[in-house]
Amino acid sequence: MEEVVVVAAGRTAVGNFMGSLASVPAHELGATVIKGLLQRSGLKPDQIDEVIMGQILSADCGPNTARQAAVAAGIPYETPALTVNRLCASAMTAVHLATQAIRLGDAQIIIAGGHESMTRAPHTLGNNREGVKMGEWTMKDSLFRDALTDVFGNYPMGMTGENVAKQWKISREEQDVLALRSHNRAEAAQKTGRFKDEIIPVVIPQKKKDPIVFENDEFIRFGATADSLAKLRPAFAKDGTVTAGNASGINDGASGLILASLSKAKELGLKPMARIVAYAVAGLDPAIMGAGPIFATRKCLQKAGWKVEDLQLVEANEAFAAQACAVNKDLGLNPEIVNVNGGGIALGHPVGSSGARIIVTLIYEMQKRKLKKGLATLCVGGGMGAATAIEVY
């Protein structure tokens, strides 16, 4: 089978809920990333065989937002596009699907990633075709209905963090220590320009002013301290341990990669950044979905022929500090090589984009450190985990 390599990678900065990217539809964020990837690679739009993008909150966005993003980025009509929804692993699954297609010879160059505007998720009015004869007619928030609620337990995703904390015996103090580390690392990384190379700026038009250029993650809590985190109340259970300070945010953003067969990359003179070694998705009890990376990582490493000890750098998306602690503990990961520039707790978690974002961040940081073997992994709502093993050139 064909060897699959990454020839370009990038992401937007992550926006706050109702923040700088609030006016930008998800597909436009995706289009910005696609344009940036083409520019970075030197490839022409008609050299792309397919575009695959993840998105969860697609209500009222129009059909097939990957297609919308592709066309908006100048990709020809003749190039097909696919939108993927595997909840938090949507963008990573896009990368996996692209890898499969290239390995099988169905395509040679694919853009894969994800885009999400959690801010623009609409409120919906169910049963509106039949109407309601009596009583209240309640609108639902699609942000919660389609992303932030566990459909099996019918409770907020944060409760799955509480479940993991109990089962893996993760204390509030442990969670806050990990969260503080994430915030502090992200603050240091931004101040030293660590993310600059991976970020593709978003130009946001203004009615009567010059356009705003958005190029810095805005969810990072500058000056976070142990005391400031300790003062926060539990967010999901009265006697719980998951708080707003040790959980990921509600955010907007996009990310993506250009994947190509090694033979095509050589033919076109493209310089590979990394190669996709292996990937995996695993299922588990939805009530403890945050533990998904444990099982996906083991499955992925087995396919790669690697051991945990072989990993030199890891990006493990932090949905909740509770699950991040459990993953580190269960797999025996050294915290010093995990999320070295902060994770989802500090940077945010635009759900349809995060799966590719962590791969992008992993590649750039491994290049800076001249490391070879890395892993990106994340938990997935509904009871799954996903992982991708890469080797950097």
Annotated catalytic residue: which of 61, 300, 325, 379?
379
First to last CA, the chain: 20
Q: Tell me how many degrees the CA angle 83-350-88 measures, rounded to the nearest 5.
A: 60
Residue 379 annotated among the catalytic residues of the structure:
yes
User: For residues 84 and 227, what is the distance between their CA atoms, to the nearest angstrom?
Assistant: 41
DSSP characters over 198-211: TBPPEEE--SSSPP
Residue 61 annotated among the catalytic residues of the structure:
no
Contact yes or no for 30/234 (Cβ under 8 A): no
Contact yes or no for 324/174 (Cβ under 8 A): no
Annotated catalytic residue: which of 27, 96, 183, 349?
349
CA 381 and chain centroid, separation: 13
User: For residues 65 and 63, what is the distance between their CA atoms, to the nearest angstrom?
Assistant: 6
Burial label, 125 (beta-carbon count in 10 A; 0-12, 13-18, 19+)? exposed
Q: Which helix (H) or strand (E) holds 125?
A: strand 123-125
Q: Are strands 373-380 and 149-150 parallel, antiparallel or unpaired?
A: unpaired
Contact yes or no for 114/254 (Cβ under 8 A): yes
* Max Cα distance, the chain (Å): 68
Contacts for 177 with CB less than 8 Å, ≥ 6 apart: 226
Annotated catalytic residue: which of 88, 115, 183, 325?
88
User: For residues 206 and 22, what is the distance between their CA atoms, to the nearest angstrom?
Assistant: 13
Q: Are strands 4-11 and 274-283 parallel, antiparallel or unpaired?
A: antiparallel
HEC readout, 156-196: EHHHHHHHHHHHCCCCHHHHHHHHHHHHHHHHHHHHCCCCC
Would you please indicate which residues are annotated as catalytic (active-site) residues?
88, 349, 379
